[in-house]
Structure 1
């Protein structure tokens, strides 16, 4: 079986999405991971917590299905566009998590972007873009997702949900959880008033502190 371990990892990640609080029932998103020139994606027509490794299609970067006992998920067009863009720009491996949670869908239905109101937003690239609304499974939404992810590890798809990237599926799921938490935090802050948005300088400082830890840069190196 092609990419057996990657197919198992896709199933585990799909189950993690299904168990994530606020996730829509049934086909609540899609998952993919690239290894070289091959991509494993979630299949069409199955709830995320029922997918088996043999169900998962293996695709080539030119959209040919090479193996799998079910057709690819409708969002595969989006996944493949992001994987091709990453491969063209020298990114050796990449994983994507796309999920429909209450708060990512709520924010994506109202805002043009998710402002960074917590320093953890720096880890995803800062403000998170919301794509224009496009029907799912189309080339249009795929093109918009590629644009929204420029310089970012997450995006929101209007009236649809969230999308997060990672160097592997564990990292992509971690980034999606962070995206969902940032959406929840923003929505709760709006109940109280107008949230304070961090500036680019403040986000840059947060990234620098992430690099050095609690003590900051070593003064003896300068």
Structure 2
């Protein structure tokens, strides 16, 4: 299980860093998580993704209780846990893309679209 957790954390960090490189998050906005069995690895709050390392891993149970890590999980942990509890999702990437954030200030509801 330890190897799976280390691999999952490494993949999570790479995904978080890519979200910055792709312009999907600014600063420390947005968050990423991955489910490994009954545990959820999640980005910690307030840490720039380029500074995340192996010692920064944060793990919580599906009940939200932190079981590993010295940093606090993202404040949007309840969103991630709701997705895991209600779906078969194995990972969540929650971005705060500039354009999406701007649109969210202009309208109350967006129609579902697929390009």
Deviations 1:179-205 (A, max 9, x none): xxxxxxxxxxxxxxxxxxxxxxxxxxx
Q: Answer with 1 or 2: which has the greater Rg.
A: 1
Q: Which residue of 2 aligns with 1:82?
A: 83
CA distance in 2, matches of 1:106, 1:20: 17
Deviations 1:108-163 (A, max 9, x none): 222311453xxxx06xxxxxxxxxxxxxxxxxxxxxxxxxxxxxxxxxxxxxxxxx
Q: CA deviation at 1:42?
A: 0.3
Q: CA deviation at 1:36?
A: 1.7
Deviations 1:86-106 (A, max 9, x none): 2xxxx2x52111111111112
TM-score of the superposition, structure 1-length normalised?
0.46
Q: Which residue of 1 aligns with 2:49?
A: 48
Q: How does 1:186-201 map to 2 (within 5 A)?
A: none
Higher relative contact order, chain-length normalized (CA < 8 Å, sep 6+)? 2
Contact 2:24–2:95 (Cα < 8 Å) also in 1 = no
Q: CA deviation at 1:49?
A: 2.1
Superposed CA RMSD in Å reads 1.9
Say yes or no: does 1:113 pair with 2:110.
yes
Q: Which has the higher helix share?
A: 1
Task: Work out which of the residue numbers 6, 9, 20 in structure 2 matches 1:7.
Answer: 9
Say yes or no: does 1:95 pair with 2:91.
yes
CA distance in 1, matches of 2:83, 2:17: 22
Structure 1: unaligned runs, 5 residues or longer:
123-222
Q: When the two structures are aligned, how many residues end up with a matched partner?
A: 112
Q: Which stretches of structure 1, 4 residues or longer, exceed 6 Å deviation after superposition?
A: none
CA distance in 1, matches of 2:21, 2:111: 24
